[in-house]
Chain A
Amino acid sequence: MKFGVIIFPGSNCDEDMIYVLESKMQQKVERLWHKERDLKNCDFIILPGGFSYGDYLRSGAIARFSPIMEKVMEHAAKGGFVFGVCNGFQILCEAGLLPGALLHNSNQKFICKNVYLRAQTNQSLLTANIDLNKPLKIPIAHGEGRFYAGENLLKELNSNNQILFRYCGEDGKISEEANPNGSLENIAGICNSGKNIFGMMPHPERAADAELGNTDGRILFESIVGLVNA
């Protein structure tokens, strides 16, 4: 099992992700520069957070045309695992690997704070080991994270168990007040219908080290590592 973290010009959460995977999860990690056309035999590809291409045009719109994305598409089409966090999620939506789009937060602000979310299904690699009733405290840091999908798509996401996380309060209640950015149905993370491509706006890699005072995000990585390496 080898992880590949893609580095785009403007990625800035790549090192946090690599640190968690290497130092906290004891995994092998390759750094993959976006201009390469080789995934170096990585089994699990991660698109980290940041501001690829300065968020020009729309967040993630230009990064999807980076040379390595062609290989990521091939990997995903063969059922390979791909996980996008924050800007990585935006890139996956722009690339059409995940459905829907991420719009400007409804309050027009860049929001950087801890929020709570609850996993909505155990039927995905990312959430398989998570207690569905437990609110996880995980930070968000984005200006464009308002998940949007058309009515039919939203129905499909719900009925196929493709909604992975919803924003909730500290008490676990999924409510309007607990929705930080105006996302439809409080959606914080989704997966594709094949359940091999995942995207979420919150940053689990920023909540996986006891030294940082929050380890609620660890369970996602434990879920990935435990099931993939099993």
Chain B
Amino acid sequence: MKFKAEIDIMPLKALLDPQGKAVTASMKNLGLPEINNVRIGKHISLEIESSSKEEARSKADEACKKLLANQIMESYEVGIFEV
């Protein structure tokens, strides 16, 4: 079976996110001062050939731990969908 993983990677809450901070500041210039605390991460989607949803999830998790996210600075969430 083929599964799709949708992975969100975000900078840890405790860390300064300079990109998000710069974008937050620009919201005021746009005339949207009510928008605050912009934080910017990345979204990764990938396909997994696997016999079960659980196995697909564990493969995606392994990919996150080994490469896609650096847990010293980032957190991640994985969503698994059957294609």
Residues of A participating in the B interface, judged by any CB pair closer than 8 Å: 57-58, 61-62, 65, 94, 100-101, 103-108, 148-150, 182
Contact = CB atoms under 8 A, between A and B. Distances in A.
A158 to B, nearest CB: 18
Contact of A103 (B15, B21, B22, B68): B15
Residue of A148, A150, A182 with highest tally of chain B CB at under 10 A: A148
A62 B68 CA distance: 9
Contacts of B73: 101, 103, 148
A120 B58 CA distance: 43
9 closest Cβ pairs, A-B complex? A108-B18, A101-B72, A101-B73, A104-B18, A108-B22, A106-B18, A103-B73, A106-B16, A58-B70
Interface of B: 11, 15-16, 18-19, 21-22, 67-68, 70, 72-73
Contact of B72 (A57, A62, A104, A148): A148
A40 B73 CA distance: 35
A148 B70 CA distance: 12
A106 to B, nearest CB: 6
Contacts of B16: 103, 106, 182
Which secondary structure dominates where chain A touches chain B?
Answer: loop
B67 A57 contact: yes
B15 A108 contact: no
Given A100-B72, A148-B73, A105 B18 contact: yes
A34 B18 CA distance: 32
A149 B19 CA distance: 20
A161 to B, nearest CB: 22
Contact of B68 (A57, A101, A104): A57
Contact of B19 (A65, A94, A104): A104
Contacts of B15: 103, 148
B34 to A, nearest CB: 23
Contacts of B19: 104, 108
B9 to A, nearest CB: 9
Contacts of B67: 57, 61-62, 65
